[in-house]
Structure 1
């Protein structure tokens, strides 16, 4: 049940089939992204995955680029996006993006790491950085249920930290919101699929090491109909002065 191949950045195997579901955020990243795109001539989508989300935001402005750091996704993104006129670049370092200074009117970033100073470098004066991020408290209920420590690499990653960091680089914060929602898993296979797709949640996760804890989750799903974890998201729209 948890062995299906995960490709691109597409959770439809468990989300589209109704095996897990998230409660609604108080904002729509996609709707706002489309509005911002209609006002720009050059766009960069950071961490495009397999290009699934970006491809839904058409029509595009005259110049569109995308980056992806996970090598297996690059070919998938190129196959999906390049026929649409998108230039896809593979990157390995957030601090060195393969673009000229002041190249873009808009940089989109959905759940991808970034270096504020490098984002500012490639944005034009008056350009917009629009990002939705996964906060440090995301899905910690999984760590607790499986008796695994929280990944401390992201321990301070929240709205306050990100806003302060961007302001320190000279960005003007136009909009900043934070929200906590619920992700419900309806079968244990969906839990396993999620953990394998998000390896940083529990590094080196192994079914064998967590058999007893997974069985407890399995019994809870059978008894109550689902297993809930808290999600942590925040949204920032920032403008280059």
Structure 2
């Protein structure tokens, strides 16, 4: 059987190393695009930072996003739970005055009670009670989350198992948890934007960067279905899946 050389080239390209939380290799080249959300987490965060005196960025990745939100308050901290990212974040953020802490447990963070008047959290897990412990009264939490059914179309197309552990993680559940932990939710919204892949190599790169989507993902394991997606893209121009995003802004009471 003759090998599809274009397919093999794209698969090899998709195996390039990924570091920090930087998808520019496939996003800046327009190989992947996502529909716009009706809100801007960055704009919301920027406005809140302007009136904060002490803040924490949870799950900072390699610090790429946080570094672009300057100027910072006097006291700025960041956490990161993925060990390969910790040194990347420190190298980027500590020269900017940000103290970076490596963490392992969402329920036991190395900060004082009532230390922050602003906590940011983009796509990071958290314990509502622990966040409330660290928050000053009237302090604000802003979080954008990836919902539990995010990109299930990838799993379906690859005939890969779904991660049902977080299936019910949505804006309603998150809002109830915060309200039960001493927060007043000021704003919440949930949407399902389309994510579009223009080549199968970009899909492979994406799946290697987010191993929780398909924990056992290996190209050889899913090669047949990846080839099917490659052929689908050749015929239709793209491969679409539905993302799951929600945002919450809450005040500590």
TM-score w.r.t. the length of structure 2 is: 0.94
Counterpart of 1:103 in structure 2 is: 115
Match of 1:148 among 160, 165, 185: 160
Structure 1 residues not aligned, in runs of 5+: none
Is 1:12 aligned to residue 24 of structure 2? Answer: yes
Q: Deviations over 1:197-217 (max 9, x none)?
A: 110111111111111111110
Distance 2:198 2:205 in 1: 12
- Name 2:124's counterpart in structure 1: 112
Aligned pairs for 1:215-234 (under 5 A) are: 215-234=227-246
Q: Which one of the candidate residues 201, 205, 213 is aligned to 2:213?
A: 201
d(CA) in 2 for partners of 1:150, 1:239:
34
Equivalent-residue separation in structure 1 for 2:237 and 2:157 (angstroms): 17
CA distance in structure 1 between the aligned counterparts of 2:246 and 2:143, rounded to whole angstroms? 8
Partners of 2:221 and 2:63 lie apart in 1 by 34
Radius of gyration: which is bigger? 2
Partner SS for 2:189 = strand
Deviation at 1:154, TM superposition (A): 1.0
1:35 aligned partner: 47
User: Which among 52, 56, 61 is matched to residue 64 of structure 2?
Assistant: 52
1:170 is matched with 182
TM-score (ref. length: structure 1):
0.99
Alignment-derived partner of residue 182 in structure 1: 194
SS in 2 for 1:235: strand
What does the per-residue CA deviation read over 1:151-182, in whole Å, with 9 as the maximum and x for residues that have no partner? 01211110011001111112100000001101
Q: Which residue of 1 aligns with 2:4?
A: none
Q: Distance in 2 between matches of 1:111 and 1:52?
A: 14
SS class of match (2:221): helix
Q: Report the 3-state secondary structure (helix = DSSP H, G, I; strand = E; otherwise coil) of the residue aligned with 1:206.
A: coil
- Aligned partners of 2:95 and 2:64: how far apart in 1? 13
Unaligned ranges ≥5, structure 2: 1-12
The alignment's C-alpha RMSD in Å is 0.6
1:238 to partner: Cα distance: 0.7
SS of the equivalent of 1:238 reads: strand
Q: Distance in 2 between matches of 1:137 and 1:120?
A: 27
Match of 2:145 among 123, 127, 133: 133
Q: Whole-Å Cα distance in 1 between the matches of residues 83 and 177 of structure 2?
A: 28
Q: In the alignment, which residue of structure 1 is the partner of 2:250?
A: 238
Question: Aligned residues, how many?
Answer: 241
Distance 2:240 2:187 in 1: 29
